[in-house]
Chain A
Amino acid sequence: MQQIFNFILKNSNRLLFLLLLGISLSLTIQSHSYHRSRYISSANVFTGFVYEKINNVKEYLNLREQNNQLANENAQLKKLLFNNTDSLTAGSALPKPSGIENVKVYNAKVINNTFNSKENYLTLLGGQQDGIKPDMGVVNSLGVVGIIEKTSSSYSTVQSILNVKSQINAKIKKSNHFGSLIWNGKNVGFAQLIDVPRLASVRKGDTIVTGGRSEIFPENIPIGTIDKVYIDKATNYYTLNVRLFNDMTNLGHVYVIENLKKQEIQKLEEETKNE
């Protein structure tokens, strides 16, 4: 017994080091799995508050771009409105893109944005109080931004599409061929669409939009255009380099999309699997 105490006393620093290293490594490993550790994220009250204050200052630096973006979006919506033949039903006659009927949209503001690591996250001002829940899609007027990862009462974190763990169902707008949108961790202006069948006719400049297969994003949200086409010799699939419409390094206001039919879909799929 004496020896054990002596050992502990003599090596107290080493043991403390190993303990702390163990904790931090387990936090690291936890963060690599799908559902990340609960406490060490920028969605908590303290970090959210600090980022909000920092963003209050930083916001002024790119007001011009933000205003341009909002004005463009307004112009597009006005175009839809004015091109209606019947002015009486102007409000309700907006053409409904397919798949958007069952969707709720929340407004949120990006208060922190990282893009210099392999696993990038955004922090949003807006959380459970505003109706934002994990696994909702995040878009802005230009295209897809990411997927909500974690929420606290008034903040939430977003797994950006510039994250090597991210995988989003997407398709070629012209031919409706599906693939998965991933990021290879290299250039912040480009993402990769993999597993596109060779049957698809792909050409440089074609538009890539979200596919209707996921319950996170509605169909036909723009993502980017094809920049380069590679052929995977082993699998006979195309790998497409996609130039993103969004400048992921400069994000202001975003929209969080809730699919109201998500639970129904998931329940149905669960029941089908169990049979």
Chain B
Amino acid sequence: MNSTFITNSLRFVVLLAIQVVIFNNIDFLGFINPYPYILFIILYPVNGSKAGLLVASFFLGLVMDMFSNSGGVHAAACVTLAYFRPTFFKFSFGVSYEYQTVKITDKLTPERFSFILIAVVTHHLVLYLLEIFRFNFIWDILLRTLLSTIFTLLLCIIIIYLIKPSKR
């Protein structure tokens, strides 16, 4: 219990630091920035406290907002993702989720991939919808969501398997 708390706190700080220092400065093609900091929400223990996740996600988003001058956009997107995470689990893993045996950091199966995909798409869609809430930018929003999703998804998977804790 205690060690998972420490792992999570560490992940919170490290992911935020990497996001602010490196990934916020990528500006691929001038407007695409990946947001792999949401890995914190994705990797949060399945059987961990839900209220804890909600509060942690809120602060995660809030710090991001401070750094990017965006009001409460990241906070809203993160809280939404955190709240719907169990639903996505149920959708992606089906019955096995009920027994809480899901491990995300394991071999990349279609279930795991679909879970990460849905999580990233949800977060980015909420994020960009709130960030540019003007109807004449609708195609722009969809394009940005699509491109950033691909980028973030790739980075998330790469990071997960790069720092995957070695088995036993």
Contacts and interface: CB of A to CB of B under 8 A. Distances in A.
Contacts of A114: 68-69
Interface in A227-266: 249
B49 to A, nearest CB: 9
B32 A42 contact: no
Interface in B24-48: 25, 27, 30-33
B79 interface: yes
A49 to B, nearest CB: 12
Interface stretch (A21-29, A175-183, A204-212): A21-29
B71 A31 contact: yes
State the main secondary structure of chain B at its contact with A.
helix
B115 interface: no
B31 A17 contact: no
B138 to A, nearest CB: 13
21 contacts: A13-B50, A13-B83, A14-B83, A24-B75, A24-B76, A27-B65, A28-B70, A28-B76, A30-B71, A32-B133, A36-B71, A40-B72, A42-B66, A47-B67, A116-B32, A118-B134, A119-B69, A119-B131, A123-B69, A185-B137, A249-B30
Pairs A-B, 3 closest by C-beta atoms: A31-B71, A27-B72, A24-B72
Interface of A: 12-14, 16-17, 20-21, 23-32, 36-37, 40-42, 44, 46-47, 50-51, 54, 58, 114-119, 121, 123, 157, 164, 185, 188, 249
